[in-house]
Structure 1
């Protein structure tokens, strides 16, 4: 086999695909990229025991066809440092000795047999298909991924829940203290379905979709999901189990509503939270059209307080929140102003954008922290 390929095009595909490869693999062959040459298309596969990523790159002057595997560790770093130029791959089909020739030199590797690489099992016949704009999928993952849990006892909480209805798709993530629910009405489905996407493939999709302007086709059964976009295909194992009824934990009646400029609130929180790092507790004191933010660290005898204007015409209220979670939530909203819906110091607060983006309905929920006074 022999072919020429752009160093930049090949390196960029390998960099994305390499994020699939685990630090320690049960099968040594999974430390490799799988290359398949057919005509003028080079297909590159990377996998671990649960996730598989496939991409293609155009090649020139191809001679022969076949399959070989090459150590990811050996090829990634040298290519990363090469400026844009054509590379010539020359593979001995008998002993899999590989030469890569470039402008000022060559690399020499011994490859591995491609037929040792595990094959992908097809999805079941009852698999469900869904097509959406890649930006919708990217936005859903970006907005919800930070709220997923790391819970060994409840693995269903460790991923993003895709709740598919005939007239919308809802992305849900929760770690028991915060919850994100993003509903997008531009995605339609013929039937109701759901699946839970683990964190690792969700992070891979973030990488892939940030460069994709087209549509993504999602196909899934009870165990696996298949994502297909312009330049990549990803197959991953889903988290099995039943996701909790997220709607049941969202308060339906929080009578006290505060409208606040999001950036003013966020920047004040960042400043005050410096003074409560040991506990992360910040106290919010609400009175007519004014919000006071308190932070205190008794161990170091430091404290801070800031006042910002808001729209609020209900009784005075003190409530405590984890500053880290509140900052994450506010950073996750793009609206200029947010509406904070509260009931009392022991019940969850609901934060929604004053104006949602087109086709979107975003709701976030945050459990309070107990105040000492």
Structure 2
């Protein structure tokens, strides 16, 4: 195996590949990246057995062949090289890296490519397209609400289901819920609802340009995505997702409207004196404004009032401030509303202008 290509071209793809390798054991084949060259093309593959990645770039192939090499070391070496063409060669179990016309020579031990696990492949003709930005935005509006409790593993991912005109994406940890109900102009196939691990969206964010289309393929066990020449996939989380519709209130009697930035700034300031593990703050909602208060502690207490539009009885709500802070950080527009009927029952947080996402927060009990 022998080929020449620019440092920049291969470095970009090895950076992406690194996230799909397993780095716990440097001697494991899944800590290696698979390289194969033929017809002036270099194929690059990486997998940690749960996620997989493949891509290709144009190179000058001097001798066809394939190998695997420790991805982390290859990445560090490539980053250290000058910006020039680099010659790569495999001989006697060693992968040689030599910049053209430079007195630099690296050698890395290889593992036979026959040991590299085969990557999963999507069924022919099963891909469908959605705008990259629209799909990424759905994840941005929900991903903060997934559970971190691994004993309830089926809540540790984003739930994706088909709706009449597009897709819904949902996240919940049992105390809050975020949902996007998005319409797509594209013709989407019917599919069984799936639970997607958050790592998929971490990689999507890195690979996505937020321009153009994203190709998706959903099978019983896997979710595939394609952007340009790059393909990656993740195994889906198995389990029965709860009937989230049961916690969404049908109607709510009162609505309190505020500026998003006013509430964000107040939450950041008042939370400086929140000492309890539950991260509890109090919202006193009245026609005069919303008073934010931290619990009294040995350190002290914080209070701040922000203006609002509200007609209804004075109400005191106790909640985890991050449950309100996180959705507001991702929310678009200038204003939002908190909708409720009773201070101890589910609250709905909605952006202005009838956007296609909203958030449900379960308040704490007053004496909890």
**TM-score under structure 2 length normalisation:** 0.93
Question: Is 1:362 aligned with 2:360?
Answer: no
For residues 129-175 of structure 1, the C-alpha deviation after alignment (integer angstroms, 9 at most, x for no partner) is 43111112211222222211122332111111111124111111111
Contact persistence 1:166–1:192 (CA under 8 A): no
Contact persistence 1:33–1:72 (CA under 8 A): yes
Contact persistence 2:141–2:327 (CA under 8 A): no
Once the two structures are TM-superposed, the CA of residue 128 in structure 1 deviates from its matched residue by 5.3
Distance 2:98 2:25 in 1: 30
SS in 2 for 1:303: coil
Contact persistence 1:166–1:191 (CA under 8 A): no
Once the two structures are TM-superposed, the CA of residue 334 in structure 1 deviates from its matched residue by 1.6
Matched with 2:243 is 245
Once the two structures are TM-superposed, the CA of residue 83 in structure 1 deviates from its matched residue by 4.0
Q: Mean Cα displacement is larger for which, 260-269 or 271-280?
A: 271-280
Contact persistence 2:2–2:65 (CA under 8 A): no
Once the two structures are TM-superposed, the CA of residue 80 in structure 1 deviates from its matched residue by 2.0
Question: Which of the numbers 88, 93, 97 marks the counterpart of 2:94?
Answer: 97
Distance 2:242 2:352 in 1: 27
Contact persistence 2:136–2:201 (CA under 8 A): no
Question: Which of the numbers 262, 265, 270 marks the counterpart of 1:264?
Answer: 262
Distance 1:27 1:238 in 2: 27
For residues 277 and 13 of structure 1, do their structure 2 counterparts lie closer, same or farther at Cα, with a shift above 3 Å needed?
Answer: farther
Distance 1:124 1:155 in 2: 27
Matched with 2:34 is 34
For residues 27 and 163 of structure 1, do their structure 2 counterparts lie closer, same or farther at Cα, with a shift above 3 Å needed?
Answer: farther
Question: Which of the numbers 214, 230, 233 marks the counterpart of 1:232?
Answer: 230
Distance 1:278 1:340 in 2: 24
Provide the alpha-carbon RMSD of the alignment.
2.1
Contact persistence 1:67–1:115 (CA under 8 A): no
For 1:1-373, list aligned pairs within 5 A: 1-24=1-24, 28-59=28-59, 61-92=60-91, 95-102=92-99, 103-123=102-122, 129-186=127-184, 187-209=186-208, 211=209, 213-279=211-277, 280-300=279-299, 302-355=300-353, 361-372=356-367
Once the two structures are TM-superposed, the CA of residue 16 in structure 1 deviates from its matched residue by 1.6
SS in 1 for 2:301: strand
Once the two structures are TM-superposed, the CA of residue 193 in structure 1 deviates from its matched residue by 3.0
Distance 1:44 1:253 in 2: 53
Distance 1:238 1:118 in 2: 19
Count matched residues: 364
**TM-score under structure 1 length normalisation:** 0.91
Q: Which runs of 5+ in 2 are unaligned?
A: none
Contact persistence 2:4–2:62 (CA under 8 A): no
Once the two structures are TM-superposed, the CA of residue 292 in structure 1 deviates from its matched residue by 0.8
Distance 1:252 1:328 in 2: 24
Contact persistence 1:166–1:190 (CA under 8 A): no
Contact persistence 2:142–2:178 (CA under 8 A): yes
